[in-house]
Chain A
Amino acid sequence: MIAFAFRQSIIQGKGDYKGWLSFDVLEEKEEDQIKLMGMYSQKYNAVRVDETQMYIMDDAGEALIENYLERSN
């Protein structure tokens, strides 16, 4: 889903927003939230902004698409 959302940011984003995806990680338990953010950071190269917000841009997003939305071409 993150890879798909990032691809949309590339296709539809304008100017500075092209190739930029931001999202909030919200879990009921704070420890789960921290774990999940750590996982997104490690696995998807997402960057943490504050307690909940993260972003993915350019190379990291492109790699996500290659890994998760790869086509047969």
Chain B
Amino acid sequence: MSTKKTVKENDFNVEIGLKDGQEWSADKLTQTKKLIKELAAKRSPERLLKNEFLAIQYKMEEYAEANEKHITKSIPLETFLHEYLETLNISFRKFAIAIDMNDANLKKYITGERKFNPDLARKFGRFFHISPITWMKVYQLNDLIKLRTEKIEKRYDKYDFRKVAQVSSVHHAASSVKPSSATVTVRGASAKRQK
């Protein structure tokens, strides 16, 4: 009699890979390496650049689509930008000029001192032939990671609805009025009326 456990074990007993379970022979490996070398030699400079660009693009896409909760360390926009500039062998300044920006000003956007925005994402997107959405997603993801990983600052403690609205009054008002009218009793306003 086959128990559920046995069936599960059988399900996993599936061979994946080479039928004989062996790796490629040394001869096949040598032949393959030779073939790769021959084919790679035929690649045009444009194709080589395209592959380098695709590598950065796919990395960005993988990062942008990842679940924020599973990322322990963020990758700043700056990192991806530098990879592109390095591939093109152009300076940051030259890039800034090419997209009608001052390099010092652009630096502020890249390092997070100023908010990266859709206009910049479009410029980056057009320049590197990659969707502006990907640039924005990377930026926004980094903001989310920052939000999750940064320690909560004490200065935010003062922001609490309980310091503004009387919870019992809010509850009472919500249950006694028609749904169309929103009534919130605010301490300040209430005190003013009583005067």
Seen from chain A, the residues whose Cβ lies within 8 Å of a Cβ on chain B are: 7, 10-11, 15-20, 22, 24, 26, 49, 53, 55, 57-58, 62, 65, 71-73
Contact = CB atoms under 8 A, between A and B. Distances in A.
B39 interface: yes
Contact of B35 (A49, A71, A73): A49
Contacts of A58: 43, 47, 50-51
Contacts of A17: 36
Interface of B: 18-19, 28, 32, 35-37, 39-40, 43, 47, 50-52, 54-55, 58-59, 61-62, 65, 131, 133-134, 137
A18 B35 contact: no
Label chain B's interface by main secondary structure. helix
A49 to B, nearest CB: 7
Given A24-B18, A26-B19, A10 B36 contact: no
Contacts of A10: 51, 54-55, 58
B40 A20 contact: yes
Contact of B59 (A11, A19, A62, A71): A11
B32 A22 contact: yes
Contacts of B36: 16-17, 20
Contact of A62 (B28, B52, B54, B61): B54
Contacts of B18: 24, 26
18 contacts: A11-B55, A11-B59, A16-B36, A16-B37, A18-B51, A19-B51, A20-B36, A20-B40, A22-B32, A26-B18, A49-B32, A49-B35, A55-B35, A57-B39, A58-B43, A65-B58, A72-B133, A73-B61
